[in-house]
Amino acid sequence: MTNNNNKLLSSYTLPDGIELKNRIVMAPMTNFSSNPDGTVSEQEVNYYARRSAGVSMVITACTNVTRNGQGFPGEFAAYSDDFIPSLRQLATAIKDQGAKAILQIFHGGKMCPPDLVDGDVVSASDIPAEGANSPIPRALSEVEAEEMIDAFGETTRRAIEAGYDGVEIHGANGYLIQQFFSAYSNRRDDRFGGSLEKRMAFPLAIVEKVKSVVDKHATSPFIVGYRFSPEEAETPGITMDDTLALVDTLADQGLDYLHVSLQDFHSTPRRGVDDLTKTRIAYLLETINNRVPLIGVGSIYSAEDAQKAVESGIPLLAIGREIIIDPDWVQKLAEGREDSIVTKLDKDKQKELVVPDALWGIITNTPGWFPGI
């Protein structure tokens, strides 16, 4: 076993004192597989349970904090106390296999399909997403923005009551929180828009609200993380220097981790910094300067991929597509069986891999998304 493997498999203590058994996390991935009423399905529970034995922490697919926040078909909901039994079922399935259960909380904003939100598509401003047929969103009023902040707090309370070990605030991938931070999506002139600092106000208010709910309702340490995307393609949009300013601020908010959303762990910035050959991960680690753990992610398949990622100095590593391809990835690493890790999806093994029908259908009909497809 290499030194890097030893590091990946070593325990890690988060700032709130919770100890993770290793440095490997299951990344949050949409699975399109919940019941039509917004409750967790049996296929979904089995899918998570199959992947929860090796990793230290499982971050669930995103769950919407308000009725009009649903971003995908087959998404489980958390906008009402009625969903607490459903949420508890998933938390229990993950924890029973030995992993920490983290509920990813979000609102899709202007990315919500109109038919899933009764046509009430909202955002920071009335700027549609780029692309044909994107709906023009309704700008949230200042009072509605404050109510949305409260909704993130209420969903955090439900996560505590349902037995989760933590929540991840989903500020990435173009959804509502990112829309407030983006100069492309946010053209407001109130306290939630304008300057870079004012565009941080909405995400920071959510962090503050979530942490206050944890302080009030959690009876033991409870993990709070924040996920972000480092850049946007749109102009004006989020640039790498914008994100470094946000991350610099977030690192002082008493969070348990930050989680960057990347397709490629080793990707480099497109704009906003002097050296475009230096990786985004390197910039982030330099800016954070050990104030809060960073989770890295992005096209990690083999043990060698993970070893190269660890060399960056990243303390925690998330794997997504690979843990669908091989749910025993961590166990194989721990047993010195790196050579038996499967890195291409076998289209004949849906049942063995315990992947829900809806997710399997999308994976196998999207060429290039997964190796082997």
- What does the alpha-carbon distance between residue 145 and residue 154 come to, in Å, rounded to a whole number? 14
Q: What CATH number is attached to the domain comprising 202?
A: 3.20.20.70
- Among residues 362, 128, 166, 160, the alpha carbon closest in space to that of 257 is found at 166
The one-letter code for the residue type at 147 is E
Looking at the domain assignment, is residue 147 inside a domain? Answer: yes
Looking at the domain assignment, is residue 202 inside a domain? Answer: yes
Looking at the domain assignment, is residue 29 inside a domain? Answer: yes
Three-class secondary structure of residue 226 per DSSP = strand
- Among residues 96, 76, 227, 215, the alpha carbon closest in space to that of 157 is found at 215
DSSP string, 232-269: -SSSS---HHHHHHHHHHHTTTT-SEEEE--SSTT---
Range of the domain at 358: 3-364
Does pTM surpass 0.95?
yes
pLDDT at 5: 77
At 247-291, the pLDDT tens digits run 999 999 999 999 999 999 999 999 999 999 999 999 999 999 999
Across the strands, what pairs with 105? 63, 169
pLDDT at 2: 60
Report, as residue numbers or ranges, the catalytic residues.
175
At 301-359, the pLDDT tens digits run 999 999 999 999 999 999 999 999 999 999 999 999 999 999 999 999 999 999 999 99
Looking at the domain assignment, is residue 85 inside a domain? Answer: yes
pLDDT at 1 over 70: no
**Total domains, the chain:** 1
Looking at the domain assignment, is residue 259 inside a domain? Answer: yes
Looking at the domain assignment, is residue 199 inside a domain? Answer: yes
Least confident interval from 14-28, 124-138, 143-157, 205-219: 124-138
- What does the alpha-carbon distance between residue 40 and residue 45 come to, in Å, rounded to a whole number? 7
Looking at the domain assignment, is residue 370 inside a domain? Answer: no
Looking at the domain assignment, is residue 22 inside a domain? Answer: yes
